[in-house]
A and B are shown apart, each in its own frame.
Chain A
């Protein structure tokens, strides 16, 4: 006897996952954190929905055996919730620390990517004729103009590995 799962719950799960993935792609760590919380709630709800039809409390003597819900997924979801709580606390602390150090909590670009973007932008600058409309023409140039720690490091003479 297979019951179809509740449609409303499925829509809720889909919304949680979609919102979670969207926020995960943001640059700010606090939005990423909200995305992770949404995703984990979606995953937990998903586990409850797919693991069997709902029923009464699985306590012998309180519910008839056929009407009991499966307690195992509930125990697993509980564990997953606790783990997500720990993760969220850690990410919050990290976002705060990042704000303390940099005055922003962005998930920053890879240093190598930045260096490559700068090199590419330098090439573009040499090739293009000066005195155009002043707008940044290409993706490479735009990338080189985004928040740029490599330039700061070059001017201060410190490398990423040395800042320990």
Chain B
């Protein structure tokens, strides 16, 4: 069944080409995009169940593993792939309904669809890649697509925030590229499984430099403090569905890359203390920024930064429990953060603004909207029994298990930040949903096509709560595999020191 592995990359790219060919036929474009993403979701879910037995590997072009590029769908990759496929499909349906309701002015469909599909292909390529340079290419694909989506329409505000985003992204790519050059010159290979075998043999000082450079490149993408200032500036100005998919997915791609490299390449955990400090600072600075905001989009962007800290905390613990909790938290956060941004898009339509000072009385005016906001918001702030609470409990348990003073400080910090998130959310709830209905509240009806996908994502968030047991079990098995390393390496090098495929003349 390993022929399924490249499909999450190939399908959206093919779809993007087709959508580009049908620029003048919006209806055909819509059908192409929806069909493509539905197929990707089906493939991703089947990979999810197949990878639970053994990681699936494809050697691209028939070149055996250390020579050619390999695509690997292990438990972590296919879990991330499934969540991202579900989220991107919901956001696409939402943006279609928005385009239909607004006459396509807000989201120029002609370029929106191909770019969106390329973004999905880039994200899938990053998750599946078993090769450091291919990881870089995946990053660039999704970055270039995100540039176009962020500056859609080229308005003053979007060009302003876009230029900051583009420059930061390009600089982080440069750092990544230089790090790749150094890794290649130090180890002579870029295949992740091969690197896992070779890197422990090189000089520890050199290894530390490589680890730090890769971490910096990924930390900029994941918006870890002090490299997080670009995010609240650039995300809020984009159209609501674009912000939603960026907030949900793009930072998590950076987190995924950190998880992969920290467990597979640099498993001895030499920068754990540094990562813990970074996690604590990210949590605190992010949430304090959110406290000061009066615009609900900016407020959510700051909570996004803050909650990246929890995932970094899970990675920095270097234990199976910590990693499992971090994986669960990533899945929860992708779903919840995306649905919150979609709800904010609905709030903007219904209330005519995203400024908390101008909104009010929405719980009376639009009770369904209030429910849709309330459920993911409570999940984000970690109120039992929602998935955010379960993820946080897992992280705190792993932190206490670790037992070092710094880990305990982080446990306390995690609880404080969780309470502050609740404070921020309650403040937003108070100002936007309670209070009297302000004068001049538009009497628009929300299109059902936009409410539907939002409700589906909220329901997915609830499903994560209900099926938290099996999901946590899956995350624990994934974390166990990653800590052990051997399942990944053995499945890439299925014939001892080579993968499947032809490379008879290659040097050993």
User: Taking beta carbons and an 8 Å cutoff, which residues of A are in contact with B?
Assistant: 24, 29, 32, 36, 39-40, 43-44, 46-47, 50-52, 72-73, 76, 79-80, 83, 86-87, 90-91, 94, 97-98, 101-102, 107-108, 110-112, 159-161, 163-164
B288 to chain A, nearest CB (A): 13
- List 20 interface pairs A-B (beta carbons < 8 Å), by A numbering: A24-B171, A29-B163, A36-B170, A36-B174, A47-B180, A50-B182, A50-B184, A51-B181, A51-B184, A83-B140, A87-B166, A90-B166, A91-B170, A94-B163, A97-B159, A98-B160, A108-B163, A161-B237, A161-B295, A161-B297
- Bound-complex Cα distance A79 to B177 (A): 11
Contacts A46-B181, A51-B185, A73-B184 given; indicate if A94 touches B166 (C-beta within 8 A).
yes
B282 at the interface (CB under 8 A from A): no
Cα distance, A32 to B163, chains bound together (Å): 10
B-chain residues with CB within 8 Å of residue A32 when the two chains form the complex: 167
- Chain B residues contacting A108 (CB-CB under 8 Å) are 160, 163
B164 at the interface (CB under 8 A from A): yes
Chain B residues numbered 219-240 whose CB sits less than 8 Å from any CB in chain A: 229, 233, 236-237, 239
* A-contact bits for B133-158, CB 8 A (1 contact / 0 none): 10001001000100110010111111
Is B156 a contact partner of A90 (Cβ separation < 8 A)? no
A97 touches B154 (CB 8 A): yes
- The range of chain B's interface size is 35 or more
A102 engages B184 (CB within 8 Å): no
- Out of A44, A91, A101, name the residue touching B156 (CB < 8 Å): A101
Which residues of chain B (168-215) have a CB below 8 Å from chain A? Answer: 170-171, 173-174, 177-178, 180-182, 184-185
Q: Give CA–CA (A112, B157) in the complex, Å.
A: 13
Find residues 384-411 in chain B having any chain A CB closer than 8 Å to their own CB.
none
Provide the bound-state CA to CA distance between A137 and B313, in Å. Answer: 44
Q: In the complex, A32→B140 CA distance in Å?
A: 19
State whether B177 touches A47 (Cβ < 8 A).
Answer: yes
Residues on B with C-beta less than 8 A from A50 are 181-182, 184-185
B156 touches A102 (CB 8 A): yes
Please report the C-alpha to C-alpha distance between residue A44 and residue B239 in the assembled complex, in whole angstroms.
35
CA distance A111 to B295 in the complex (A): 13
A27 to B102, CA, bound (A): 36
Q: Which residues of A sit under 8 angstroms from B137, Cβ to Cβ?
A: 79, 83
* Chain A residue contacts of B153, Cβ below 8 A: 164
How far is A40 from B162 in the complex, measured between Cα atoms in Å?
A: 20
Contacting pair A46 B174 (CB below 8 A): no
A87 B170 Cβ-Cβ under 8 A: yes
* Complex contact A52–B185 (CB within 8 A): yes
Query: Besides A46-B178, A164-B239, 18 other CB < 8 A contacts?
Result: A36-B167, A39-B174, A47-B181, A50-B181, A72-B184, A83-B140, A87-B144, A90-B144, A90-B147, A90-B148, A98-B159, A101-B159, A111-B233, A112-B233, A161-B355, A163-B155, A164-B106, A164-B237
| Distance A164 CA – B98 CA, assembled complex (angstroms) | 15
Q: B354 contacts the other chain (Cβ, under 8 Å)?
A: yes
> Is B355 a contact partner of A94 (Cβ separation < 8 A)?
no
Establish whether residues A159 and B144, one from each chain, have CB atoms under 8 Å apart when the complex forms: no
Cβ–Cβ < 8 Å partners of B147 in chain A: 90
| B residues 294-316 touching A (CB-CB < 8 Å) | 295, 297
How many whole Å from A45's CB to the nearest CB in chain B? 10
Cβ of A163: which chain B residues have Cβ within 8 Å of it? Answer: 155-157
Complex CA–CA separation, A116 to B114 (angstroms): 40
Chain A: CB-nearest residue to B154: A97
Residues in chain B near residue A94, CB distance under 8 A: 151, 159, 162-163, 166
CB distance from A116 to the nearest CB of B (A): 10
Which chain B residues lie closer than 8 Å to A91 at the CB level? 166, 170
- Expressed in whole angstroms, the minimum distance between the Cβ of B216 and any Cβ of chain A is 14
Nearest CB in chain A to that of B507: its residue: A65
Complex Cα gap A40–B174 (Å): 7
